[in-house]
Amino acid sequence: MNIRGLLGAAVMAALGLASQAAAQAEIKFGHVGEPGSLMDLSATEFAKRANERLGDKGKVIVYGSSQLGDDKALLQKLKLGTADLALPSTIMSSMVPVFGLFEMPYLVHDRDHMKRIRDEIVTPTMVPEAEKTGYRIIGVWENGFRQITNNRRAINTPEDLKGIKLRVPNGEWRIKMFQAYGASPSPMPLSEVFVALQTGVMDGQENPYAQIYPSRFYEVQKYLSISNHVYTPAFVTAGRSWDKFDPEVQQALTETAVEMQDVVYGIAADLEKDLLQKLTEAGMAVNEVDTAAFVAASQPIYDQFAQSVEGAGALIEKAQGLSGE
C-alpha cells in the first residue's frame, strides 16, 4: 500500500474510532455517599451491571462523595441535564410533597413491608407525581433505617433530645419531627457534617449505619442510640437528559435499576449487622431507645402531614395496612 493509501486508512480508522466514541453515551451518576456506604456499594454494582448490558452503547460513570454536589445541587443538575442520574433520599419530600410519606416516623417496619409499599404505593402513585416535576424514578433502592448519634447524652426518650443541636437532611418533615421531639434540628449537606460535629457547631446527627460508619462520625460522636425512627428509601432518578439516550440505553438502565432493588436490600441487611459491630468496637456507647415513647410522640407529625398534603391520609392508611401485622 502506498503512502496515500496508508493515510487514507489511518483517516478512516480515526473516523471510525471517533464515531464509536460518539455513539457511546457517558452516563453521569452522582450521589452523596462516602466510599463504603450503601449508596456507594449500590451505585458501583449498578454501574458494573448496567455497563455489561450497555456494551458500546454507553457507560455509567459514578461520582460519589458529593463530587457533583449535594442532593439539592444534584437534583438541580438533573433538571438542567448536566447530570444524568442521582440517588436522592430525604430531599425528595421537599421537591414532591407526597414523598413526605417516608418522613413519617416508624411507618416502615422492615424491608418486606417496604417492598409492598414500593409495589403498591411508590410505583403506581408517587412515581407519576415525581414525573410531573421533571424527575423520572427508575428504581427504588435504600438509604436505610436511621439512628441518632450525639455528644451530650444517651437518648432514651424524646425528652432526652431537648436542646440538642441536631443536623438533619433537607426534609421539611424531618425538621418538624425533631422539633416535636424537643431537639434543635438544622439541615446541612452531608459533606459538611463531620466538621460541624468536630467543632461543636452540631451536637449530633441522625443517619443509617451505612452513612455513620463510612463518614467516620464515630471519631467525633460518643453516643449511638438505636432508634430506627425513619426508614429512608433512595430513588434512582433521571431528569432532562433522559430523552437524549437511545431507547436501548434507557431500557438497559431501567432494567438494571429494577434488578438492583432486591440486591440493595440484601447488601443493606448485611451492612447493618457488620457496621453496628464496628461502631461498637470503635468505642461508641450504644443503647436502644424507648420505641413506644417515640411512637407516642410522633402522632402530631402524622396529623400535620395528613392535613397538609392532599391524599396523604389515605397513603398513610394504605402503607400501614401493608405491614402484614
11 occurs within a structural domain: no
118 occurs within a structural domain: yes
Which residues lie below 8 Å from residue 14, measured CB to CB, with a gap of 6+? none
276 occurs within a structural domain: yes
Residues of the chain with pLDDT under 50: 6-7, 9-22
104 occurs within a structural domain: yes
8 occurs within a structural domain: no
- Split into its structural domains, the chain has a count of 1
Q: Give the Cα separation of 183 and 190 in Å (integer).
A: 19
290 occurs within a structural domain: yes
Domain encompassing residue 147: 25-321
Report the CATH number that the domain containing residue 137 is assigned in CATH. 3.40.190.170
Give pLDDT tens digits for 93-137: 999 999 999 999 999 999 999 999 999 999 999 999 999 999 999
Give pLDDT tens digits for 6-28: 445 444 444 444 344 445 889 99
Question: pTM for the complete prediction?
Answer: 0.91
Q: Give the Cα separation of 171 and 207 in Å (integer).
A: 13
Q: Assign 3-class secondary structure to 134-197.
A: CCEEEEEEEEEEEEEEECCCCCCCHHHHCCCEEEECCCHHHHHHHHHHCCEEEECCHHHHHHHH
Q: Give the Cα separation of 226 and 287 in Å (integer).
A: 6
15 occurs within a structural domain: no
Task: Compute CA distances 19 → 15, 89, 151, 153, 247, whole Å.
Answer: 6, 37, 57, 62, 19
Task: Compute CA distances 77 → 30, 80, 88, whole Å.
Answer: 10, 5, 12
185 occurs within a structural domain: yes
